[in-house]
Structure 1
Amino acid sequence: MDSSALNSADLQRFIEQEKQKAMVNEMVAKLTDVCWDKCITGTPGSKFSSGETTCLTYCAQRYMDMSMMIMKRFQSMQ
């Protein structure tokens, strides 16, 4: 294999890794927006209340579960 083909493969791998990182960052930002708006109803203090903590935990878990379900569905369609 010549060096240009190797560099091309390395470049493709790098691009794929960067796409995955961007996707994770986007998902975390979306999760943060959705769960924050749903669970934090007042002005936050130095700590979350127990209700806010519980809400954030369940909201994040549901969001992650749904994201995994959607990803698996898309993978099965290909």
Structure 2
Amino acid sequence: MDSSSSVPGLGSVDPQLQHFIEVETQKQRFQQLVHQMIELCWEKCMDKPGPKLDNQAETCFMNCMEHFIDTSQFILNRLEQTQKTRPAFAESLSD
């Protein structure tokens, strides 16, 4: 198989460019995840915005963010496990 990728309308793509695109896409996904986390925790923890966080809001934010990160990590691990078992399952079907 050819090591270069083909993108509709662009022909083959340089492997370094492909890697750059993948890295930038991962950065964008991470930024979206952080934005979602902040938005979710803000809605959950902020009753009345003020000049500083009180102890209750600060604790709520920390718990919310830790829960969000733990849940995201669990989902990523689960997806990795699923992807690892699929090729073996697909091979057993073709036998």
Q: TM-score, normalised by structure 1?
A: 0.87
Shift of 1:46: 1.2
In structure 1, the residue matched to 2:63 is: 58
Alpha-carbon distance in 2 for matches of 1:11, 1:59 = 37
1:59 is matched by which residue type in structure 2?
C
Q: From the CA coordinates, give the structure whose radius of gyration is larger.
A: 2
* 1:11 aligns with one of 7, 17, 23: 17
Letter matched to residue 59 of structure 2: T
Partner of 1:36: 42
Percent pairwise identity? 33
Point out which structure has higher relative CO (alpha carbons under 8 A, 6+ apart).
1
Structure 1 stretches of at least 4 aligned residues deviating more than 6 Å after TM superposition: none
- Corresponding residue pairs, total: 72
**For 1:24 and 1:50, how far apart are their aligned partners in 2?**
28
1:17-50 CA-to-partner distances (Å, cap 9, x unmatched) read 01110111000010011000000011x1111000
TM-score normalised by L of structure 2: 0.72
Calculate the aligned-residue CA RMSD, in Å. 1.1
- Structure number with the higher helix fraction is 1
**In structure 1, C-alpha distance between the alignment counterparts of 2:43 and 2:20, rounded to whole Å:** 35
Unaligned runs of 5+ in 2: 5-12, 84-95
